[in-house]
């Protein structure tokens, strides 16, 4: 894995960088594990824009990822490492001993031919999934469940990993990539290792057209709008009028804490993210 740079034959190419895709072993996805992905353009079921600056982009198919890793007791072999346009990390196609194929998030260091499994009393090896009660303190993990028997949707971005700091009275103290230290139940599942493609954060988009290919439309600065369109709009010249940065609905953007202090899960947070 690495980052590929180009000779600056144009202004855009000067800062344009891409992944070298050296770890990719298969270009076409497994057709039975893909479904059509319909674009919304940021519109809801009434046709109104609810998520701004979305639209266009290349046509994609969604790869069905096994986040739960609920096929326990059956070993699987890695068949290929593939690119997924719907996420920053790479995905791995695995074949279980009974012949079933599934996609999983590819941990950093996983290679074709490696064996992975999910269940209890497994060796601490990259790609194995197990409960937090079976994972030693200090081990890096990803694809973490928020609650037992829930979806595994934490620590899934490229290059991220959480770390188990301690275990106490049925809870595991875990440090998340954001810096937040939080308690998780020992029955929550996680996967050993760090998520693949850690160089993703260093890739430079380089030009506006590349953002359009990703489905991201140009963003208008709030101070360039009229007062009817945004609280920070209006004024003569480039003056913002001394207004505090805020959202279109008037929500203060810098320093204002939006988390509900009465939220039940606050008791599980030991230290908030910085």
Question: Considering only CA atoms, which of 126, 119, 165 is closest in space to residue 142?
Answer: 126
Check residue 239 and give its pLDDT: 73
Q: Look at phi and psi of residue 201 and say left if phi exceeds 0, alpha if psi is from -120 to 50, else beta.
A: alpha
Residue keyed to tokens 């009028």: 241
Q: What's the pLDDT tens digit per position in 27-40? A: 999 999 999 999 99
Mean local confidence (pLDDT), 57-82: 96
pLDDT of residue 238: 82
User: What are residue 160's DSSP bridge partners?
Assistant: none
Q: pLDDT tens-digit profile of 233-255?
A: 988 888 766 778 999 999 999 88
Q: What sign does the dihedral 148-149-150-155 (CA atoms) show?
A: positive
14: left (phi over 0), alpha (psi -120 to 50) or beta: alpha
| Percent of the chain topping pLDDT 70 | 99
DSSP state letters, 198-266:
GGGGG----SHHHHHHTTB-----GGGS-TTT-TT---STT--TTPPPB-TT--B-SS---S-TT-GGG
Instruction: List, as one string, the DSSP characters of the chain.
Output: --EEE---SSTTTTT-EEE--TT---SS--GGGEEE----TTB-TTS-BSS-SB------EEE-B--S---TT--EEEEEEE--TTSSS-EEEEEETTS-EEEEEPBTT--TT-EE-BSSS----TT-EEEGGGSPTT-EEESEESSTTS-EEES-STT--EEEEEEETTEEEEE-TTS-EEEEETT-EEEES-BS-GGGGG----SHHHHHHTTB-----GGGS-TTT-TT---STT--TTPPPB-TT--B-SS---S-TT-GGGGGEEE---
pLDDT at 225 over 70: yes
Q: Is the dihedral of CA 47, 52, 58, 64 positive or negative?
A: negative
Strand partners, 163: 140, 175
**Per-residue pLDDT tens over the stretch 136-169:** 999 999 999 999 998 898 999 999 999 999 999 9
Lookup result for tokens 């601490």: 124
Q: What residues contact residue 242 under an 8 Å CB cut-off, 6+ apart?
A: none
pLDDT at 243: 76
- pLDDT value for 241: 65
Give dist(CA 79, CA 83) in Å, integer.
14
| Structural domains of the chain sorted by starting position, each given as residue range(s) with its CATH number in brackets | 3-201 (2.40.50.140)
Task: Name the one residue in this structure whose structure tokens are 């439309």.
Answer: 217
pLDDT at residue number 240 = 66
What are the pLDDT digits (tens) for 75-114? 999 999 999 999 999 999 999 999 999 999 999 999 999 9
């Amino acid at each position: 894995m690495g980052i590929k740079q180009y000779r600056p034959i144009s202004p855009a190419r000067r800062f344009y960088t891409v992944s070298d895709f050296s770890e990719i072993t298969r270009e076409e996805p497994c057709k039975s594990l893909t479904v059509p992905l319909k674009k919304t353009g940021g519109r809801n079921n009434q046709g109104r824009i609810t998520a701004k600056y979305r639209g266009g982009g290349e046509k994609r198919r969604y790869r069905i990822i096994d986040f739960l890793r609920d096929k326990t007791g059956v070993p699987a072999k890695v068949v290929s490492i593939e690119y997924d346009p719907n996420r920053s990390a790479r995905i791995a196609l695995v074949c279980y001993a009974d012949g079933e194929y599934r996609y999983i998030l590819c941990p950093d260091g996983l290679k074709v031919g490696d064996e992975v499994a999910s269940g209890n009393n497994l060796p601490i090896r990259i790609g194995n999934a197990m409960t937090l009660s079976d994972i030693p303190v200090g081990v890096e993990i990803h694809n973490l469940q928020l609650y037992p028997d829930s979806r595994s949707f934490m620590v899934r971005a490229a290059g991220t990993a959480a770390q188990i700091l301690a275990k106490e009275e049925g809870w595991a103290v875990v440090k998340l990539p954001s810096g937040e230290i939080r308690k998780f139940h020992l029955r929550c599942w996680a996967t050993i290792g760090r998520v693949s493609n850690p160089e993703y954060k260093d890739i430079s988009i380089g030009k506006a057209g590349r953002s359009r290919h990703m489905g991201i439309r140009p963003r208008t600065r709030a101070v360039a709008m009229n007062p009817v369109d945004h609280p920070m709009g209006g004024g003569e010249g480039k003056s913002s009028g001394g207004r505090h940065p805020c959202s279109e609905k008037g929500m203060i953007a810098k320093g204002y804490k939006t988390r509900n202090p009465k939220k039940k899960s606050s008791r599980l947070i030991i230290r908030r993210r910085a």
